[in-house]
Amino acid sequence: MDFVNGIDRDQLVMMDFEANVASDSWARIVDLFVEMLPLKELGFSDVLNEQGRPPYRSADMLKLLMYGYKKKLRSSYALEEACKINLEVIWLMRGLRPSARKIAYFRKDNPKAFKQAFRYFVVLLKDMDLIDGETIAIDSFKIRAQNSLKNNFNQKKIDRHIEYIDKKIAEYENQLDDELNADDEAKIKEKKATQEQRRKEYKAIEKELETSGETQISTIDPDAKSVILHRNVVNVGYNIQAGCDGKHKLFINNSTGRVNDTHALSEMALDAKDLLGINKMNTLTDKGYTTGLHIDICTKNGITTYSSPKAHSSMNNGLYDMQIFEYDALKDSYKCPAGAIMQGNQVIYKKRNHKVKRYTTKSCEACELRTLCTTNKRGRIIERSIYQEAIEANKRRVDENPEYYKLRQQITEHQFGTLKRQWGFTFTLMKGKENVLSEVNLMMMVYNLRRLISIFDINDLKARLKSLVFQIMGISSLYKAPLSTFYFQNLPQRFCFFLNLQLINVKG
């Protein structure tokens, strides 16, 4: 029977790499994109070789990483191997084979440059009119860190371990009081010494935790925190904040640090506004971001928030909720359901996440409605956030524009799915906040570039990237193909950005 047969392995083959890489290959897009970036100005340093050999160009290393991050090849060993066996990578790297160590060092040594490159790309997309900055949706996703749950401690966990160790030590001491043969005694003494050593280690961690002022500490990656990864699954990781533009759902900015979103809104929104150089914008965020302080900061800075309102805590205890108390802004007082006027004492009280003013009335003492209103012996106390006006205005906006608020999910969530499910970005390979953000910046740069393939026809995108390469190299006259008209629309703005990179470096 006839079968389809391969070539004879002993046959000499003349191979043209150019012909082996498809015209719509991701490698070709990455190649053009990286050539367009002003890598030196963005802060990339070339990878030095030992003993005076010429260094690897940072452009080649960045191309390798950008290619790999879309193809689930993130570890330096996988990338090193790809340089030897993957035809597209061999084409992209022009046969260069940097070692895994070199690849890892390049990624580790350039965190600021990755950030600048991503931000440069975002401004370029704004110039290309692909980002309009009208609506920015902010959301977060979690990734696992290079730190196991076993190596993450809070005071409760340390206490539990020390209690167990103390019990064990006491047990060994009791056993040593009995008459034992020399062998058994030596064994028990050894076990006791091990537990004493462990106790010392936990005490050292406890001291470190105390000095850090944090509620938890990770011993392998100190910046990693215990986070809820999915439903009730807790692991050590990072909470990555991401801002996305409403026009083409492209990533704008990112950040990490806190385990939840409570204090991320104004930081992310102001950063996006600053980066895009716009005067006003809207933000869409879920309930986790609704904090009076941050809504107020945004409002004062020309940012209109649409953040899902949180129910007031008074709505859950079965007593009169705060909404039915009428506030008089002129007199700064409340009218209660019994018609009494509740005055504030003008003191501002600091609570965990906010500041409040308190309002009370003496009428509570003899009030018939008291059992429906409060269980407090001193009568009902209304706590009004000092940012209440901003909170209420935000609530009104969300209530009056439900369709607009619904855009939030469409703008942010599917990117996270692509990054995590398709490209395997469920964990980081790096340690430390800054280096983890290198991976995030790389991922987001790759995502935005991949998204351009969907927005444009691939050949159109290649032509646009080529034109950018030549423009930035200042030799556009050598490029004969017609340049896209859009490219010239905001040329001065982009070159201003280019010239101002140093300034942004300082800010970043």
Would you say 361 or 435 has its CB closer to ligand SF4? 361
Would you say 353 or 376 has its CB closer to ligand SF4? 376
Stretch that binds ligand SF4, among 29-37, 336-344, 345-353, 495-503 (CB under 6 A): 336-344
Would you say 388 or 412 has its CB closer to ligand SF4? 388
Beta strand spans in 375-429 (E): 382-385
CA 209, 211, 215 angle in degrees (round to 5)?
40
When binding is defined by CB under 6 A, the residue of 180, 369, 393, 453 that contacts ligand SF4 is 369
Would you say 287 or 312 has its CB closer to ligand SF4? 312
CA distance 140 to 244: 11
Q: Verify binding: residue 364, ligand SF4, rule CB under 6 A.
A: yes
Tokens describing residue 428: 């980081």
- Minimum CB separation of residue 134 from ligand SF4 in Å reads 44
Beta strand spans in 206-363 (E): 216-218, 225-230, 233-245, 251-256, 281-285, 303-307, 326-328, 333-335, 341-350, 355-360
Restricted to residues 97-136, the positions that interact with ligand SF4 (CB under 6 A) are: none
Nearest to 436 by CA among 267, 255, 217: 255
Stretch that binds ligand SF4, among 210-218, 368-376, 452-460, 467-475 (CB under 6 A): 368-376
Q: Could you tell me what percentage of the chain is helix, strand and coil, using 3-state DSSP and rounding each to the nearest 5?
A: 55, 15, 30
When binding is defined by CB under 6 A, the residue of 370, 420, 450, 466 that contacts ligand SF4 is 370
Would you say 233 or 366 has its CB closer to ligand SF4? 366
State the greatest distance between any 2 C-alpha atoms of the chain, in Å, as a whole number. Answer: 103
- Minimum CB separation of residue 374 from ligand SF4 in Å reads 5
- Minimum CB separation of residue 147 from ligand SF4 in Å reads 50
Would you say 256 or 388 has its CB closer to ligand SF4? 388
- Minimum CB separation of residue 356 from ligand SF4 in Å reads 17
Number of shown-chain residues binding ligand SF4 (CB under 6 A)? 14
If you write DSSP's letter for every residue of 247-281 in order, what string do you get? TT--EEEEEE-SSSSTTTHHHHHHHHHHHHT-S-E
- Minimum CB separation of residue 372 from ligand SF4 in Å reads 8
- Minimum CB separation of residue 343 from ligand SF4 in Å reads 12
CA distance 238 to 260: 10
Would you say 44 or 320 has its CB closer to ligand SF4? 320
Q: Is 478 helix (H, G, I), strand (E, B) or coil?
A: helix
| Residue type, position 484, single letter | S
Residues contacting 172, CB < 8 A, separation 6+: 188, 189, 191, 192, 195
Q: Is 12 helix (H, G, I), strand (E, B) or coil?
A: coil
Would you say 167 or 362 has its CB closer to ligand SF4? 362
Say which residue the tokens 């995502």 belong to: 447
Q: Are 146 and 428 in contact, with CB atoms under 8 Å apart? A: yes
Would you say 93 or 336 has its CB closer to ligand SF4? 336
When binding is defined by CB under 6 A, the residue of 309, 337, 344, 432 that contacts ligand SF4 is 337
> Binding string to ligand SF4 for residues 371 to 390, with x set by CB under 6 A, is what?
--xx----xx----------
When binding is defined by CB under 6 A, the residue of 361, 385, 388, 441 that contacts ligand SF4 is 361
CA distance 268 to 289: 11
Would you say 143 or 336 has its CB closer to ligand SF4? 336
When binding is defined by CB under 6 A, the residue of 165, 284, 336, 391 that contacts ligand SF4 is 336
- Minimum CB separation of residue 69 from ligand SF4 in Å reads 59
Report the b/e string of 15-33 with b at 16+ CB within 10 A: eeeeeebeeebbbbbbbbb
When binding is defined by CB under 6 A, the residue of 270, 278, 338, 398 that contacts ligand SF4 is 338
- Minimum CB separation of residue 377 from ligand SF4 in Å reads 12
When binding is defined by CB under 6 A, the residue of 113, 340, 419, 463 that contacts ligand SF4 is 340
Q: Are 333 and 344 in contact, with CB atoms under 8 Å apart? A: yes
Strand 135-144 to strand 281-285: parallel, antiparallel, or no bridges (unpaired)?
parallel
Binding site for ligand SF4 (CB under 6 A): 336-338, 340, 361, 363-364, 367, 369-370, 373-374, 379-380
